[in-house]
Amino acid sequence: MAAWLADLMGLVRTRPVLVAHSLACGPALQFAIQHPERISKLVLIAPAFLQAPSPRLTRSTLAIPMLRRMSAARLAATLGLPEGPSVASAAADLRRPGVARRVISAMRSAFAERETSRSLLERVSVPVEIIVGSADPLTVDVDHPVTEIAEAGHYPQLTHPAQVARHLGVVSDPIDFVQDHSRADRGWDRRRS
């Protein structure tokens, strides 16, 4: 993921705000420390290393066959998300060869690197903001601004996109954003059919 992020950012000539979610927060922190001149701010959404760890079984190789067989409805319920094209696509991806194994491997690596990521957070020199859902709070105190979105879980950008977008300052009218997002989601679903 770190190499992918470096490649992605290699084409960028401005200093954007780098936004990362969950397991991707660790690599985003590493990038921010290694290249502070490349970004203006770092926003961490539901950073896994600052929240309660996932149950041990979800990091076990025993979870691989369960992930491969997981229906979209069960995946949505497990993640606390509404059913829709994004969750259906994720469930389909989990059935592809090697994907479930890579997901479990990423979860295990992130769990093993929790303390390292926490120490990186103390060293980052660009401004950092953290966004979490009230149902998935931080379990570690931090010296950075934290925004808690009421009634959101681990995926506030999916369940409460207008609130996240408003906090990030990317839209002036959250209602327009939600309507545009819904239209884009429906169009994406038709293209996949």
* Residue 84 C-alpha from the chain's centroid: 18
Q: What is the pLDDT of residues 67-95, one digit of tens each?
A: 999 999 999 888 888 888 888 999 999 99
Mean pLDDT of 161-168: 90
Supply the pLDDT for residue 173.
53
Backbone angles phi, psi at 111, to 5 degrees: -65, -45
Report the C-alpha gap between 128 and 189 in whole angstroms: 34
Instruction: Evaluate whether 31 touches 19 at the Cβ level (below 8 Å).
Output: no
* Strand 41-45 with 128-133, pairing: parallel
Q: Under DSSP, is residue 40 helix (H, G, I), strand (E, B) or coil?
A: coil
Confidence class of residue 175 from pLDDT cuts 50, 70 and 90?
low
Give the H or E element holding residue 148: strand 146-149
Contact 51, 138 (CB under 8 A): yes
pLDDT of residue 184: 41
* pLDDT given for residue 192 in this prediction: 32
Radius of gyration of the chain (CA): 17
pLDDT one-digit tens code per residue, 23-65 = 999 999 999 999 999 999 999 999 999 998 888 888 888 999 9
pLDDT at 174 over 60: no
The string of DSSP letters for 48-59 reads GGGBPPPPGGGG
In the numeric block, which tokens belong to residue 81? 């998300």
pLDDT at 191 over 90: no
Residue 86: predicted pLDDT: 84
The pLDDT of residue 179 is above 90: no
Average pLDDT, the chain: 85
Distant-in-sequence contacts of 38-42, Cβ < 8 A, 24+ apart: 38/9, 38/12, 39/9, 39/15, 39/126, 40/15, 40/16, 40/126, 40/127, 41/17, 41/126, 41/127, 41/128, 41/129, 42/17, 42/18, 42/124, 42/126, 42/127, 42/128, 42/129
Q: How many residues does the chain have?
A: 193
For the chain, give the percent of residues with pLDDT over 70: 88
Helix (H, G, I), strand (E, B) or coil at 138: strand
- Give the residue with greater pLDDT, 187 vs 60: 60
pLDDT at 170: 67
Which residues lie below 8 Å from residue 95, measured CB to CB, with a gap of 6+? 68
Cα–Cα distances in angstroms (integers) from residue 104 to residues 4, 55, 134, 150, 181, in the given order: 19, 12, 25, 29, 30
pLDDT at 186: 40
